Amino acid sequence: MVNMPLAHDLLWGMTPAQLPADAPQWAVESLAAGQPVVMRRAVSAEGLVAVGVRGVLREQRLAVFMPVDSIACRVSPEALCHVDCERDLPVMQALKQLRPGLDDCGWIWGVSGSVGFELASGFEAMHGASDLDLILRTPQRITRHQARKLVALFDQAVCRVDMQLQTPFGAVALREWASGSARVLLKNQHQACLVADPWTPQEQAA
């Protein structure tokens, strides 16, 4: 692996034998079927990455660690922006509806959550009431006005759309940044903390 995976990347190569001894049977079955795991934000030991195993049910999520050397394939959320599937669900309708506006926004965006999982792996994860989860790579600050314009775009979709802004210091919810909150919740592998500006949190802590 030349580049280390980022949060929300889908990784293939983990085997049931690499799960903890007390892992639930559904997790064993998920990996045995060839499903990918999802990169998550957490501190890991050298040679390992923090990942999550998905089950069929929403509550079936298992946080584990995967050896870096086991990663056989990696798919990022931004690689899924223009992937389609034949299932005519509200989330897919919303994705098709929002693509032009997102492509024109000037930022790199991607598809995560159940939609990204199914588009990348082919394993059924979406359903009629699924939310559309998106990410936006924002190395530079996106203004609150820009954030509100995106929220207004998303609110026209046929399902709920949630987006995480991926800053150099962690992730913040688009809807929270678009709100009038003086401080917003910034999440990274070390902690979740309230900050006034997700792009300069170190200055606020000084």
In tens digits, what is the pLDDT along the chain, a chain of 206 residues? 447 899 999 999 999 999 999 999 999 999 999 999 999 999 999 999 999 999 988 899 999 999 999 999 999 999 999 999 999 999 999 999 999 999 999 999 999 999 999 999 999 999 999 999 999 999 999 999 999 999 999 999 999 999 999 999 999 999 999 998 999 999 998 899 999 999 998 765 44
Structure tokens belonging to residue 97: 């509806």
pLDDT value at position 203?
A: 60
Q: 148: which residues sit within 8 A by CB, 6+ positions away?
A: 178
Active site amino acids: 131, 133
Cα 35 from Cα 158, distance rounded (Å): 28
**Facing residues of 11 across strands?**
37, 74
- 200 SS3 class: coil
Tokens of 123: 């394993």
What's the Cα-to-Cα distance from 108 to each of 56, 57, 77, 163, rounded to whole Å?
30, 30, 10, 12
